[in-house]
């Protein structure tokens, strides 16, 4: 939908709202609309008590309009936030009568829908009041508002438990047996990039050693450690041992609450690898089916079957007392509501400690972005949520993505006491993150998150391997300049 801005510069607010509500259309900005031309005009006008924001929509011969008021309260930053909120809400309200169905997340557009609920809790409200705030201010449906409030409460509890100098540590292995059609991560198939695995590991071990010195100098402790990818268990047994040895001998893990290895694909998991993971103190792993429907697995390029998942899960249970997470994706091509529900039931019957239910997002860089899409409704997800609740799972973290199936959400569920510290810290942006490996983004925070400094590693393995000296220097500079405030 073409749009025009008058009297304000909240372009991002308009773009995000249009993408959220009309994801299958392009949204170019224009100077003006022609007579009778379809489009949106978002206009702000200043008056004595604040600012009025009006959205006017012209679409298929129908005109709608909605106005919001922004009071002249707070400092300049607060007034900007209020203006963005009013712009989004006015556009949403003007478009709502023209939509085929009511969006379950209402006017919310960000990737972190629990954040406004957390503000209510921080001000002394309870979960019910936080959920009501989302319903009344963003038109979120009561069920989604309750999920957001529950996740906000989990995030607030973790935030209050953080040590001032605690960091979360991520180590990336950007290789997979094959690339799935829905994946946009910078991961490399070992069928094509096997020659890069060993030199990549050598460069990564150097970065781990350098990071240990920086963390010691900063007096930092590791609160959680996540080895992800890609598929870390694509490393052979010897390579995985070397990685885990370096992690355990170099890094300050004395206060580490959670150590995860994302095993991921069953075809890469062996008994020896599971024993090594357990012996090095990692107590949480992921075994990710994505779906338990074999035809759907074949369609997205997975090299395993549902029965492979069941066998690997049993092997992990026999090997160690792991906390196990299992990922599912709703909305995959050739899947349907019945298939999704069957997958959720089969995973719940296995009884992992964590189940993460993602909604397929058409991501830039993913082969599936312009391909066949699955069908997904909020009602289908709700049935799955009910099934998980009946098996003792509750939501603990939540995020959304652009272009997700059904404009829906991704939710992490856990049994009591098994929430992931790392996941909450990442999704709610709680504190500092040290990221090692290709594509890693290190972030140091101070002054309660109001000040942030970042440094990024090169995305691609060959660039990472060639840039190890530059990477080390950039991280040293980051810590030298900012660790006194961190």
Q: Where are the alpha helices (DSSP H) in 181-332?
A: 190-218, 237-250, 271-279, 294-299, 306-319
Three-state DSSP at 282 gives: coil
Do 298 and 179 have their domain in common? Answer: yes
Diameter over CA atoms, the chain: 72
Do 416 and 308 have their domain in common? Answer: yes
Three-state DSSP at 427 gives: helix
Domain boundary among the residues 81, 100, 119 is at 100
Task: Give domain status of residue 243, yes or no.
Answer: yes
The set of long-range contacts for 96-103, using a CB threshold of 8 Å and a minimum separation of 24, is 96/139, 97/62, 97/64, 98/57, 98/59, 98/60, 98/62, 98/64, 99/21, 102/141, 103/20, 103/21, 103/407
Do 78 and 177 have their domain in common? Answer: no
Tokens of 132: 């009501």
Number of domains forming the structure of the chain = 2
Do 181 and 71 have their domain in common? Answer: no
Domain that holds residue 305: 162-479
**Beta partners for residue 54, in sequence order:** 43, 67
According to DSSP, residue 72 is labeled S
Per-residue pLDDT of the chain (486 residues; tens, 9 = 90+): 999 999 999 999 999 999 999 988 999 999 999 988 999 999 999 887 888 999 999 999 999 999 999 887 888 888 888 999 999 999 999 999 999 999 999 999 989 999 999 999 999 999 999 999 999 999 999 999 999 999 999 999 999 999 988 999 999 999 988 766 667 666 566 777 889 999 999 999 999 999 999 999 889 999 999 999 889 999 999 999 999 999 999 999 999 999 999 998 899 999 999 999 999 999 999 999 999 999 999 988 888 999 999 999 999 999 999 999 999 999 998 899 999 999 999 999 999 999 999 999 876 655 555 555 556 889 999 999 999 999 999 999 999 988 787 789 999 999 999 999 999 999 998 989 999 999 999 998 876 556 788 899 999 999 999 999 999 999 988 888 755 455
Residue 455 region, left (φ>0) first, then alpha (ψ -120 to 50), else beta?
A: beta
Task: Give domain status of residue 74, yes or no.
Answer: yes
Do 94 and 205 have their domain in common? Answer: no
Phi, psi of 391 (to 5 degrees): -95, 10
Do 271 and 378 have their domain in common? Answer: yes
Task: Give domain status of residue 38, yes or no.
Answer: yes
Domain boundary among the residues 59, 74, 100 is at 100
Task: Give domain status of residue 267, yes or no.
Answer: yes
Task: Give domain status of residue 105, yes or no.
Answer: no
**What CATH number did the domain enclosing 317 receive?**
3.20.20.70
CA-based radius of gyration for the chain:
24
**What CATH number did the domain enclosing 51 receive?**
3.90.950.10
- pLDDT tens column, 137-172: 999 999 999 999 999 999 999 999 999 889 999 999
Domain boundary among the residues 100, 121, 145 is at 100
């Amino acid at each position: 939908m073409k749009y025009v801005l008058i009297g304000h510069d909240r372009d991002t607010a308009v773009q995000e709202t249009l993408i959220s509500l009309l994801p299958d259309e392009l949204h170019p900005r224009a100077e003006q609309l022609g007579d009778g031309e379809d489009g949106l005009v978002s206009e702000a006008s200043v008056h004595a008590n604040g600012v009025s924001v009006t959205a006017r929509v012209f679409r298929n011969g129908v005109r709608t309009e909605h106005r919001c008021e922004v009071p002249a309260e707070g400092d300049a930053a607060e007034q900007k936030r209020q203006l963005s909120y009013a712009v989004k809400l006015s556009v949403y309200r003007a478009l709502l009568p023209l939509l085929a169905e009511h969006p379950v997340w209402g006017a919310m557009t960000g990737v972190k829908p629990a954040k406004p609920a957390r503000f209510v809790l921080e001000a002394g409200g309870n979960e019910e009041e936080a959920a009501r705030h989302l319903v009344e201010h963003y038109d979120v449906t009561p069920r989604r508002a309750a999920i957001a409030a529950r996740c906000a409460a989990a995030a607030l509890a973790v935030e209050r438990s953080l040590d001032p100098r605690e960091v979360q540590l991520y180590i990336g292995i950007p290789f997979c047996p094959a690339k799935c059609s829905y994946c946009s991560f910078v991961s490399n198939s070992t069928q094509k990039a096997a020659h890069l695995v060993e030199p990549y590991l050598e460069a990564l071990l150097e970065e781990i050693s350098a990071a240990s010195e920086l963390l010691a100098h900063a007096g930092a402790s590791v609160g959680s450690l996540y080895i992800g990818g890609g598929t870390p268990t694509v490393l052979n047994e010897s390579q995985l041992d070397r990685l885990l040895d370096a992690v355990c001998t170099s890094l300050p893990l004395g206060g580490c609450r959670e150590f995860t290895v994302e095993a991921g694909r069953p075809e890469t998991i062996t008994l020896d690898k599971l024993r090594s993971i357990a012996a090095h103190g990692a107590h949480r792993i992921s075994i990710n089916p994505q779906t338990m429907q074999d035809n759907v697995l074949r369609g997205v390029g997975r090299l395993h079957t549902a029965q492979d998942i069941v066998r690997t899960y049993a092997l992990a249970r026999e090997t160690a007392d792991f906390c196990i997470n299992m990922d599912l994706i709703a909305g995959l091509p050739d899947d349907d509501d019945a298939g999704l529900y069957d997958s959720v039931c089969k995973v719940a019957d296995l009884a992992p400690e964590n189940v993460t239910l993602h909604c397929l997002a058409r991501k830039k860089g993913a082969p599936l972005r312009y391909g066949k899409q699955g069908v997904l409704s909020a009602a289908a997800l709700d049935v799955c949520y009910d099934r998980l609740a009946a098996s003792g799972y509750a939501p603990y973290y939540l995020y959304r993505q652009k272009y997700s199936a059904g404009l829906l959400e991704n939710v992490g569920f856990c049994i009591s006491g098994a929430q992931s510290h790392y996941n909450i810290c990442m999704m709610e942006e709680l504190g500092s993150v040290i990221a090692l490996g290709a594509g890693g983004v290190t972030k140091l925070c101070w002054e309660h998150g109001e000040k942030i400094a970042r440094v990024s590693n090169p995305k691609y393995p060959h660039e990472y391997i060639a840039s190890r000296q530059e990477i080390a220097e950039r991280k040293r500079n980051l810590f030298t300049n900012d660790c006194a405030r961190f």
